[in-house]
Amino acid sequence: MLHRIAFIVFATLLSSPAARAADSSKPLRALLITGGCCHNYTFQSQTLTNGVAKHAKVEWKIVNEGGTGTRAEIPLYDDPNWAKGFDVVVHNECFADTKSSDYMRKITSVHKAGTPAVVIHCAMHTYRSAEIDDWREFLGVTSRRHDHQSNYAVKKVAEHPILKGIPDNWVTAKDELYIIDELWPNAKALATSKSEVDGKDHPVAWVNQYGKARVFGTTYGHSDDTFRDPVFLDLVSRGLLWSAGRIKD
């Protein structure tokens, strides 16, 4: 009986506001997966981790595998527990021509089970040649092409804690506008930019629920100047904290 009482008291303490506050003060454990075609991933990784550090204590593991081509199956995902021990995973890789459905599901099944994620720029075009839609459902958007680089005005289209502090008149550094062919049912657009080609508004930041996992995404992040932009870094940082449950809706 005493053991049962002690357990109830211990459980109550764990669920108390003080206990939750202590837990939220622990450093986040984040896995950054990067590599592939077309971008300066070493620089992006450095500026991203430095930018997030202004918002939260984060212990990072950075994995840069697969070379600089458009097709790779990186060794990381061979381990079925590849995300174990991490509070959030950031995908900033670019492997457009990798097609294996079995390989892709090594990634998506882990997220669907509850591992939160942030997806940046070319993650949206990664695995775009695959026959199954699991990756795009995980992302929350379908995109296979982009417009030219330009300075795009960003329009907020929702109220969300991720957007706190993001100015209403934000204009990006030179970057590519990804054409979004589909916003998936469990995704919600947070901000859009207008195409200079067809005049249509396309989501450039959004949130998605994939199984048990929160996902934040942005299609911006092509150029080094974008990763130097404090507004972009603030946006991604708050998206990371929201995905990991450190910012509430």
Query: pLDDT digits over 89-142, tens only?
Result: 999 999 999 999 999 999 999 999 999 999 999 999 999 988 899 999 999 999
Distances in Å between the alpha carbon of 97 and those of 61, 69, 131? 25, 9, 11
* Whole-number pLDDT of residue 87: 98
- Strands 88-94, 58-64: pairing is unpaired
Distances in Å between the alpha carbon of 131 and those of 82, 127, 181? 24, 9, 16
What average pLDDT score do residues 186-200 get? Answer: 97
Architecture of domain 2-243: 3-Layer(aba) Sandwich (3.40)
Q: pLDDT band at residue 248, thresholds of 50, 70 and 90?
A: confident
Structure tokens at 75: 């060794």
Q: pLDDT band at residue 249, thresholds of 50, 70 and 90?
A: confident
Structure tokens at 202: 């396309």
Q: H/E element holding 6?
A: helix 2-14
* Whole-number pLDDT of residue 131: 86
What predicted TM-score, i.e. pTM, was given to this entire model?
Answer: 0.89
Check whether 11 has a pLDDT greater than 80. Answer: no
Concatenated DSSP letters of 179-208: E-SEE-TTEEEEEEEE-TTT--EEEEEEEE
- DSSP summary character for residue 70: S
Give SS3 for 156.
strand
> What is the share, in percent, of the chain residues with pLDDT greater than 90?
87
Amino acid identity of residue 114, one-letter, is G
Check whether 13 has a pLDDT greater than 50. Answer: no
Among 190, 193, 100, 188, smallest CA distance to 146 is for 193
* Whole-number pLDDT of residue 8: 32
Please state the domain extents for the chain.
Answer: 2-243
Check whether 152 has a pLDDT greater than 90. Answer: yes
Among 117, 125, 123, 136, smallest CA distance to 216 is for 117
